[in-house]
Amino acid sequence: MAQAKSRITVSFDGWKADNEVLDLLGIMAHYIDKEYEVKTITLALRDTFGSHSGVNIKDQLLDVLREYQISNKVAFFAANNATNNDKALQLLAGELNIDAKTQRLRCLGHVINLVSTAILYSVDADCVEEVLEAVKTDADVDSSATDAFKTSITSSDEATRLAAWRKKDPFGKVYLLIVHIKHSNLRRTFFESKQREAAATENAELYRVVLNGGVRWNSDFDMLVRALKLRDALSLYQEHFLQLGEMDAVDCLTTAD
């Protein structure tokens, strides 16, 4: 980096492992090297021990920048739109000669995630306009509807989870249908038979259904794309269990869906 032909953009993001033991802040550098090739390298993966405060992020960033001696070479900082990241750069400006506003790059992926999540999970589609306006003005996004839904679907009460998903018709129907299929190996094998029936051949190429991961909207997208690909088999599958009385009609996808 000392011989870079460009100034450096530093991106950073924090995430927690599913077991909630490992909590990391990743810090990356992006620049053009002496051979005029674009480089992206990992500077650090710091355990933040659950502290996502602006102060802690600032301390980690400052420590890494000084360790690599690039404090005066950074052109921009890229991070998602969380307010703690804003705070971190504001505090960093007190330590380094940077402008926390003009050198702050917003993460487009995070903006898309906010808007897409609002469409999929929030009660009112008008919230999309609110998200867009909040991003434009650097204001906090009101995610109360989305947060309420996420709280419901992670509830230990099955009735609460079911009621929440039923409000997300037809997105919720797809989710509930796929959960039904993945419930057991017997059902998964039966669904494979419905794929063969839909294709009218025993040699049909078989696909697994995809269940959203609950982390980013693109896992929801993957779930829906696969469901569309398998819609004939899904129709045959739900029709079978509907006739057996083992599936509620309100949870079944219709042609309109």
Q: What is the structure's pLDDT at 120?
A: 74
Q: What is the structure's pLDDT at 135?
A: 63
Query: Contact 33/3 with Cβ under 8 angstroms?
Result: yes
Residue 41: alpha-carbon gap to chain centroid = 23
| C-alpha span between 38 and 205 (Å, rounded) | 41
| C-alpha span between 125 and 35 (Å, rounded) | 49
Cβ-proximal residues to 165 (8 Å cutoff; 6+ apart), any chain: 153, 172, 175, 176
The least confident of 66-75, 148-157, 195-204 is 148-157
pLDDT band of 44, cuts 50, 70, 90: very high
Q: Which is more confident, 188 or 169?
A: 188
Q: What is the structure's pLDDT at 143?
A: 62
Express each pLDDT in 133-147 by its tens digit.
Answer: 666 665 555 566 677
Q: In what order do the strands lie in the sheet with 23-32?
A: 38-47, 23-32, 8-16, 74-79, 104-106
Q: Write down the domain spans for the chain.
A: 8-106, 110-152, 169-251
As a residue count, the chain comes to 257
pLDDT band of 115, cuts 50, 70, 90: confident
* This prediction's pTM: 0.61
Express each pLDDT in 6-22 by its tens digit.
Answer: 999 999 998 776 666 77
CA atoms lying within 13 Å on the CB side of residue 142: 9
Name the DSSP class of 212: -
Q: What is the structure's pLDDT at 155?
A: 74
Name the DSSP class of 3: T
Q: Please name the CATH architecture into which domain 8-106 falls.
A: 2-Layer Sandwich (3.30)
- Kindly state the average pLDDT of the residues 164-168: 82
Q: Which is more confident, 53 or 15?
A: 53
Express each pLDDT in 65-86 by its tens digit.
Answer: 999 999 999 999 999 888 899 9
Mean pLDDT of the chain: 86
Q: What is the structure's pLDDT at 141?
A: 57
pLDDT band of 127, cuts 50, 70, 90: low
Residue 16: alpha-carbon gap to chain centroid = 13
Express each pLDDT in 87-114 by its tens digit.
Answer: 999 999 999 999 999 999 988 877 787 7
154 has a pLDDT exceeding 80? no
Q: Which long-range contacts (CB under 8 A, 24 or more apart) does 211-215 make?
A: 211/175, 211/178, 211/179, 211/182, 212/175
Give the closest residue to 10 by CA, choosing from 62, 46, 48.
62
* Highest mean predicted confidence (pLDDT) among 80-89, 123-132, 226-235: 226-235
* Token pair listed for 148: 């309420």
